[in-house]
Amino acid sequence: MEQAGRRRRRGHTRRRLGWLSLVAALLGIVAVAIMWRPALAPIAAAPRFEPGLVERGARVAALGTCAACHTVDPARPFAGGFPIETPFGTVYSTNITPDARTGIGGWSEEAFTRAMREGVSRDGHLLYPAFPYNHYARLEQDDVRALYAYFMTRPPLDAPARKNEMTFPFGLRPLVGFWNILYLSDEPVRPDPKQSAEWNRGAYVADALAHCSACHTPRTRLGGPDDKRFFDGGEAEDWYVPALNAKSPSPLPWSRDHLAAYLRTGIAPGHAAAGGPMQGVVENLRQADPADVEALATYIHGYLAQAPARDTPARRPGSLPPPKPDDPDLARMQLGHQVYVNACARCHDAGRTESSGTALQLQQAVALYDPDPRSLIHLVRDGIAPPDGEPARWMPGFGAILTDEQTVALAAYLRRYGAGQPVWPELEKQVRKGKQ
Amino acid sequence: MNYELQVNGKRHRVDTDADTPLLYVLRDDLQLNGAKFGCGLGQCGACTVMLDGAPVMSCIVPVSVVGARPVRTVEGLGTVDKPGVLQQAFIDEQAAQCGYCIAGMIMRAQALLDKHPSPTDEQIRSHMMPNLCRCGTHMRILRAVRRAANTFSRQPAGGRS
């Protein structure tokens, strides 16, 4: 009896092991299917393209702001090497010139299309979604073809990919396969029949090309777009990226024309100047078809118009006042006011001269109204530098000029007496963090 | 207002307005005329000096924010008779044409070499980017910085100035 029971139990265990290995094998197959993609055969030489297709590709590439990440040195366009900081590590953009060894010279149109739509390199490895293929997945195939023609006709440059610096376990590229299940959808942008043709064109440009929401929508903990909070504001390169909907921090309502001017020049007079990561976007959009940028403005403005009109100090710009004598934080506010008067006022206040250019009176500066102080700190420290060789907006950086204490005091003062809002609780921490 | 400044290792007292640019104080009050007034907007770099080890455009530094932080100007690197390593490298490469930008160029380069005695050519280029030269001696300036870096990296630490 006992022996039989033992035998039965053993048989039971064996059967269970059999089932388990079958399940494991099945899971393995599924996992491989999720994580593995085949290499596609290289091509020996680039095909010939119609000049018209290449020109269209240039316009599509400008709308996709490809150069913002793939060009570091203007003398070496699209050679890659730009570091993109993510919570999972630093990803470097790659060489997308048609160099056979280090670029995409050996890529067929099929391989290029797969990379754009599925985030898979020609040799089969999965690309990190720092490359926004989850947006490009919704491109019309004609646009993909035009991009292929454009990039395959750029001067080839020798520029091997830089090694990414990922934190464990994200160095394991196949894991991206699971991200793709969650966040990759190739469902095309559906036109909204209730909206104008221009708005619908703008929706396509914003979503499938310019990938605005990649930065203007917050991300989930897994690094995917949090679509329930569409355009609620996100971050890029440690800058706060403003919300573009009812949560817009802008102290003045955006008009559609303001927005169109801003997107093409980086400046909306009396309203905003592009800084930080937005500068690269503007630089690209400037080279795009103006009608497409107008469409983009129409579409984005539809969301920005949801922001309620607010009574903010921006409606009464002028000299910023000294702190009130009964301010509970008087010493710090006085220091901030002194820094403002001695360092900032020359361009931003009543003493403005021709050379102040488009410097905003600071009640109008959006960064003062942001939910966190990061963009203001970056602006004070790094200023705004025009792209190489281009006349554009300019502000010198004060990072090496002001001490941490002066920077904190200035930002606190500007927040209180410029925007009329309580000082950000994490201001000091953010200033100290940035200086490392 | 009275301000006490540490410039090239010496203490100075000046009486001036809080928003006076450090550049004016250096030139008008301390007679340190190396740093030049170029654009007055922090765009050209002719006025570059070092503040607490970092290169700054002194035309946009209000004297009131300097405090006890040390200021270093081109006069602090050497003299006509005994030029510093970087100054000698600029002479050897004949890197000046009109010379107006050179004091600023040297101070920006000095800040780099203090931190990275053996910079790559790429580091030199990107570090020197903010400073402009209108004569077009950029290639010689880059060579001079390279030459000084080569000299520094042959020297034992401590002998760098």
A243 shares a domain with A153: no
A298 shares a domain with A317: no
Residue B154 has pLDDT above 90, yes or no: no
CA angle A394, A395, A399 (to 5 degrees): 145
Q: Which residues of B touch A394 (CB under 8 A)?
A: 41, 43
Beta-carbon contacts of A167 under 8 Å, excluding residues fewer than 6 positions away, are: A88, A89
- Contact at CB, B19 and A346, closer than 8 angstroms: yes
Give the domain B2-74 fold.
Ubiquitin-like (UB roll) (3.10.20)
What does the alpha-carbon distance between residue A242 and residue A275 come to, in Å, rounded to a whole number? 12
- Contact at CB, B56 and A401, closer than 8 angstroms: yes
Q: For position A31, what pLDDT does the model report?
A: 86
- Contact at CB, B19 and A402, closer than 8 angstroms: no
CA angle A85, A86, A90 (to 5 degrees): 50
What is the tens place of the pLDDT at every residue in A129-184? 999 999 999 999 999 999 999 999 999 999 999 999 999 999 999 999 999 999 99
Helix (H), strand (E) at residue B127: helix B121-128
A127 shares a domain with A110: yes
What is the tens place of the pLDDT at every residue in A414-434? 999 999 999 999 999 999 986
Q: CA distances (Å), A271 to each of A268, A365, A370, A423, A433, in order?
A: 5, 7, 14, 22, 29
A89 shares a domain with A147: yes
Q: Based on the structure, what is the number of domains in chain A? A: 3
- Contact at CB, B51 and A346, closer than 8 angstroms: no
What does the alpha-carbon distance between residue B142 and residue B108 come to, in Å, rounded to a whole number? 12
Asked if residue A271 is part of any domain, the answer here is yes
Asked if residue A333 is part of any domain, the answer here is yes
Q: For position A356, what pLDDT does the model report?
A: 66
Q: Which string of DSSP letters, residue by residue, matches A98-128?
A: --TTTSSTT--HHHHHHHHHH-B-TTSPBPP
- Closest residue in A to B60 (Cα–Cα): A343
Q: Which residues of B touch A396 (CB under 8 A)?
A: 41-43, 57, 60
- Contact at CB, B65 and A355, closer than 8 angstroms: no
Average pLDDT, chain A: 93
Give the structural domain span for A248.
197-304
Q: For position A317, what pLDDT does the model report?
A: 86
What does the alpha-carbon distance between residue A377 and residue A130 come to, in Å, rounded to a whole number? 25
Q: Which residues of A touch B19 (CB under 8 A)?
A: 341-343, 345-346
What is the tens place of the pLDDT at every residue in B23-34? 999 999 999 999
Q: Give CB contacts under 8 A, 24+ apart, made by B46-50.
A: B46/B100, B46/B101, B46/B103, B46/B104, B46/B131, B46/B132, B47/B23, B47/B104, B48/B103, B48/B104, B48/B105, B48/B107, B48/B108, B48/B131, B49/B22, B49/B23, B49/B73, B49/B74, B49/B107, B50/B107, B50/B110, B50/B111
ipTM above 0.90, yes or no: yes
Q: Tokens 């470097």 appear where?
A: A92
Asked if residue A121 is part of any domain, the answer here is yes
Residue B160 has pLDDT above 90, yes or no: no
- The total number of residues shown for chain A amounts to 436
- Contact at CB, A396 and B52, closer than 8 angstroms: no
Task: Name the percent of chain B lying above pLDDT 70.
Answer: 96
What is the tens place of the pLDDT at every residue in A194-237? 999 999 999 999 999 999 999 999 999 999 999 999 999 999 99
Q: What are A219's strand-pairing partners? A: A225
What does the alpha-carbon distance between residue A72 and residue A74 come to, in Å, rounded to a whole number? 6
Q: What is the rounded average pLDDT of the residues B119-143?
A: 95
What is the tens place of the pLDDT at every residue in A28-61? 998 888 888 999 999 998 899 999 999 999 999 9
Chains A, B: CB contacts within 8 A come to 43
Lowest mean pLDDT among A306-310, A332-336, B106-110: A306-310
Task: Work out the end-to-end distance of chain A between its first and last CA atoms, rounded to an integer number of angstroms.
Answer: 74
- Contact at CB, B41 and A396, closer than 8 angstroms: yes
CATH of B85-154, one of 1.10.1060.10, 1.10.150.120, 2.40.50.140, 3.30.200.20: 1.10.150.120
What does the alpha-carbon distance between residue A294 and residue A300 come to, in Å, rounded to a whole number? 10
Tokens of A320: 């910023």
A150 shares a domain with A207: no
Residue A8 has pLDDT above 80, yes or no: no
Q: For position B158, what pLDDT does the model report?
A: 47
A263 and A289 Cβ atoms separated by less than 8 Å: no
- Closest residue in A to B69 (Cα–Cα): A403
Q: How confident is the model at residue A271 (pLDDT cuts 50, 70, 90)?
A: confident
Residue A97 has pLDDT above 80, yes or no: yes
Burial, A11: exposed, middle or buried (Cβ in 10 Å; 0-12, 13-18, 19+)? exposed
Q: What are A92's strand-pairing partners? A: A83
A373 shares a domain with A297: no
* Candidates A401, A405, A407, A410, partner chain B, best to mutate (most B CBs within 10 A): A401
Q: For position A36, what pLDDT does the model report?
A: 87
Q: For position A391, what pLDDT does the model report?
A: 67
Contact with chain A for residue B70, Cβ under 8 A? no
What does the alpha-carbon distance between residue A383 and residue A364 come to, in Å, rounded to a whole number? 17
CA distance A121 to chain B (A): 29
Q: Which residues of B touch A402 (CB under 8 A)?
A: 65
Domain boundary among A279, A304, A329: A304
* Candidates B1, B3, B19, B127, partner chain A, best to mutate (most A CBs within 10 A): B19
**Composition of chain B by helix, strand, coil, percent to 5:** 40, 15, 45
What single-letter DSSP state applies at residue A424?
P
What is the tens place of the pLDDT at every residue in A389-417? 666 778 999 999 999 999 999 999 999 99
Domain boundary among A246, A273, A304: A304
B130 and B45 Cβ atoms separated by less than 8 Å: yes
Within its chain, how far is the Cα of A128 from the centroid? 14
CA angle B81, B83, B87 (to 5 degrees): 145
- Contact at CB, A338 and B64, closer than 8 angstroms: yes
Contact with chain A for residue B65, Cβ under 8 A? yes
Q: Tokens 């006076």 appear where?
A: B20
Strand ranges inside B64-146, DSSP E:
71-72
Q: What is the rounded average pLDDT of the residues B57-85?
A: 97
- Contact at CB, B61 and A401, closer than 8 angstroms: yes
* Candidates B47, B59, B60, partner chain A, best to mutate (most A CBs within 10 A): B60
Beta-carbon contacts of A32 under 8 Å, excluding residues fewer than 6 positions away, are: none
Contact with chain A for residue B25, Cβ under 8 A? no
Q: Which residues of B touch A401 (CB under 8 A)?
A: 51, 56, 60-61, 65
The beta-carbon neighbor of A401 closest among B18, B40, B51 is B51
Interface of A with B (CB under 8 A): 338-339, 341-343, 345-346, 355, 394, 396, 398, 400-403, 406
Residue B161 has pLDDT above 70, yes or no: no
The beta-carbon neighbor of B43 closest among A396, A398, A402 is A396
Residue whose C-alpha is closest to residue B56's, from B113, B149, B131, B3: B131
What single-letter DSSP state applies at residue A167?
P
CA distance A358 to chain B (A): 14
Q: For position A208, what pLDDT does the model report?
A: 97
Residue whose C-alpha is closest to residue A435's, from A387, A380, A385, A392: A380
A273 shares a domain with A390: no
What does the alpha-carbon distance between residue A154 and residue A54 come to, in Å, rounded to a whole number? 10
CA distance B81 to chain A (A): 32
- Contact at CB, A342 and B65, closer than 8 angstroms: yes
**CATH code: domain of residue A294:** 1.10.760
Q: Which residues of B touch A403 (CB under 8 A)?
A: 65, 67, 69
A429 shares a domain with A326: yes
Residue A125 has pLDDT above 60, yes or no: yes
**CATH code: domain of residue A325:** 1.10.760.10
A366 shares a domain with A261: no
What does the alpha-carbon distance between residue A417 and residue A313 come to, in Å, rounded to a whole number? 9
What single-letter DSSP state applies at residue B121?
H
A421 and A415 Cβ atoms separated by less than 8 Å: yes
A97 and A115 Cβ atoms separated by less than 8 Å: no
Contact with chain A for residue B121, Cβ under 8 A? no
Contact with chain A for residue B18, Cβ under 8 A? yes
A102 and A161 Cβ atoms separated by less than 8 Å: yes
Beta-carbon contacts of B151 under 8 Å, excluding residues fewer than 6 positions away, are: B85, B89
Q: How confident is the model at residue A4 (pLDDT cuts 50, 70, 90)?
A: low
What is the tens place of the pLDDT at every residue in A365-380? 999 999 999 999 999 9
Q: What are A90's strand-pairing partners? A: A85, A165
> Number of helices and strands (H, E) in chain A?
17, 7
A166 shares a domain with A113: yes
A402 and A410 Cβ atoms separated by less than 8 Å: yes
Domain boundary among A152, A183, A214: A183
- Contact at CB, B54 and A400, closer than 8 angstroms: yes
